[in-house]
Structure 1
Amino acid sequence: MSEREAMTLEADPEQVGLSFLTLAYSVREQVDQHMVSSAGLSLSRTKVLQVLAGRGALHQAELADALGQAPRSVTQIVEGLERMGLIARTGDPQDRRRKTVSLTDRGRTTLAAAEQAGTHVLRRLFGSLDPQQRESLGALLAHLDTVLAR
């Protein structure tokens, strides 16, 4: 959306909300595309590696819970990451059905590259705002987050 379109945008909640959703989707797409082209990892795969880097090895069900996703969805991502050599899955000695997922050294390196690529896009986009604009946007987002938490 151009600045001119934004100036003519009606300030009703629905239009502002739809504009926000459209913009958020576009930002996510740009971050995702840059991460894939730079590090070979999508944002969703990066999130899995971030959880493992932060929490250590987890059972797949725990990983799905930490990500707020269905176990079936996480299984597909985990299988892809395992094929790439970014994570390792090991069986649980007490329960063969349970798999523990852990980050490999290659996974740590790839995660760092993906995070750097994502940071680059976010700095370019949000760095185009002056400090006061970023502060105002941060306050607005914090307010909306509080409303959502209720």
Structure 2
Amino acid sequence: MKKAFDVSDKLFELYHRVHRLLNESMTEEGVSLARSKFLFYLCKLGPCRSTDIADALKFAPRTVTEAIDGLERDRLVVRQPDPDDRRAKIVSITEMGRQALEAAEGPRKQMIGELFATLDDRELDQLHEIVGKLVIKAEDMRAKRKDEISSAAE
């Protein structure tokens, strides 16, 4: 079991180091890693409500609203009335937001390329398979946990 904890600790350490390095590199280009996630999903989803973004990113609606407030203040997104629901707003990425996202993409690709160049193709394939298995198991565990909580609540 100690070995599993050691590997887990290394994975968390890697995640945090890469996250920090990515964030620093992308922020130097004008958009942080967190902000780029919002902009990326707006590009992918197209104009949408903030609740759609919250669902896509699995964030609390309040977190998304605060992030959109900042992005709008910096003119990276714009809110417009929803033609189908006058109480709601549709969020769209602006041209300035697209440019900021594009500028941050270069350092992200460069940093990831440099990091993973440490591994040969066989190692990359193995890592992909191993991490994939862990992701599936974690999702299964989460679903089981949610089922158990639901059953206990009934």
> Please, what TM-score do these two structures have when normalized by structure 2?
0.84
1:6-48, Cα deviation, whole Å (9 max, x unpaired) = xxxx9621121111111111111101110001x2111111111
1:106-150, Cα deviation, whole Å (9 max, x unpaired) = 111111111222111111111122222212211111111121222
> Please, what TM-score do these two structures have when normalized by structure 1?
0.86
Within the alignment, does 1:69 sit opposite 2:59 as a pair? yes
1:12 maps to 3
- Paired letter, 1:117: P
Query: RMSD between aligned alpha carbons?
Result: 1.6
1:105 to 84, 95, 98: 95
**Superposed, which structure 2 residues align to 1:13-28 within 5 Å?**
13-28=4-19
Indicate the SS of the match to 1:128. coil
- Paired letter, 1:68: K
Indicate the SS of the match to 1:12. helix
Please list every run of at least 4 consecutive aligned residues from structure 1 whose deviation after the TM superposition is greater than 4 angstroms. 93-96
Taking only the aligned residue pairs, the percentage that are identical comes to 34
**Superposed, which structure 2 residues align to 1:37-52 within 5 Å?**
37=28, 39-52=29-42
Q: CA deviation at 1:59?
A: 0.7
Q: Unaligned regions of 5+ residues in structure 1, if any?
A: 1-9
Q: Unaligned regions of 5+ residues in structure 2, if any?
A: 141-154
- Paired letter, 1:129: L
